[in-house]
Chain A
Amino acid sequence: EDKVVQSPLSLVVHEGDTVTLNCSYEVTNFRSLLWYKQEKKAPTFLFMLTSSGIEKKSGRLSSILDKKELFSILNITATQTGDSAIYLCAGGGSEKLVFGKGTKLTVNP
């Protein structure tokens, strides 16, 4: 059965810290790895990764995929309180996305 495992499940840091969120996947007919940020409402799209070794970057956030080892990481540098959210990783395979349980990030002032 397809599965996506995220770690850690929760993380508490101080503003300015750098964090790394992990995602490992086992997805049949894998095509893409997606990261979403969920605050109070709907998950909002951050990145989609399809190729190994190519970093995607958006401001202080970056992500990379390793298709050989079947994992991805999401880095957030110089964290801010507004980064507090649940970060969801999802693997796209045969017809659907399989989501991990998320990492709850809390950034304290």
Chain B
Amino acid sequence: DTAVSQTPKYLVTQMGNDKSIKCEQNLGHDTMYWYKQDSKKFLKIMFSYNNKELIINETVPNRFSPKSPDKAHLNLHINSLELGDSAVYFCASSQEGERTTYEQYFGPGTRLTVT
């Protein structure tokens, strides 16, 4: 009964390849996020979606494209992978109402290694 799940957990690929990471939440939340955590453990938001609509798009290369087929799923597709994309990518979700509080719940992470 995992609340926020991601697949795959590990991804090793070569530069130039295209890859996708999937995220699903069964909490009934309406907002989902993608974060990148670098080797120094700094967690930074990349995207957020509310009810399938893109809300936040931080300064992220165009090679990264999120897709939300429904409010329980948020996938991340990465084109032309580069060495600097190696990181752990976390999906998160929250229920945001009139008074947003950002109480977010995180998935287990996907460790991406680009060689």
Binding site for B on A (CB under 8 A): 31-32, 34, 36, 38, 41-45, 48, 50, 86, 88, 90, 92, 95-99, 101-102, 104
**Given A31-B102, A34-B102, A97-B104, residue A42 in contact with residue B43 (CB < 8 A):** no
**Given A32-B101, A96-B45, A102-B41, residue A44 in contact with residue B56 (CB < 8 A):** no
Fill in one digit per residue for B30-72: 1 if any A CB lies within 8 Å of its CB, else 0: 0000000000111111001000000110000000000000000
Q: Categorize the interface residue count of chain B.
A: 20 to 34
What A residues does B100 contact at CB under 8 A?
A: 31-32, 92, 95
Report the Cα distance A41→B5, complex, angstroms.
12
Residue of B nearest to A50 (CB): B101
Separation in Å of the A93 CB from the closest CB of chain B?
9
B102 touches A92 (CB 8 A): yes
A42 touches B107 (CB 8 A): yes
Q: Which of the listed residues A32, A42, A43, A98 has the most CB atoms from chain B within 10 Å of its own CB?
A: A42
30 A-B contacts, Cβ less than 8 Å apart?
Answer: A31-B99, A31-B100, A31-B101, A31-B102, A32-B102, A32-B103, A36-B106, A41-B108, A41-B109, A42-B107, A42-B109, A43-B106, A45-B104, A48-B102, A48-B103, A86-B41, A92-B102, A95-B55, A96-B45, A96-B48, A97-B45, A97-B102, A97-B104, A99-B42, A99-B43, A101-B40, A101-B41, A102-B42, A102-B43, A104-B41
What B residues does A41 contact at CB under 8 A?
A: 108-109
Report the Cα distance A71→B55, complex, angstroms.
27
| Chain B interface, DSSP helix/strand/loop, else mixed | loop
Q: Which of the listed residues A32, A43, A98 has the most CB atoms from chain B within 10 Å of its own CB?
A: A43
Separation in Å of the A58 CB from the closest CB of chain B?
14
Fill in one digit per residue for B55-98: 1 if any A CB lies within 8 Å of its CB, else 0: 11000000000000000000000000000000000100000000
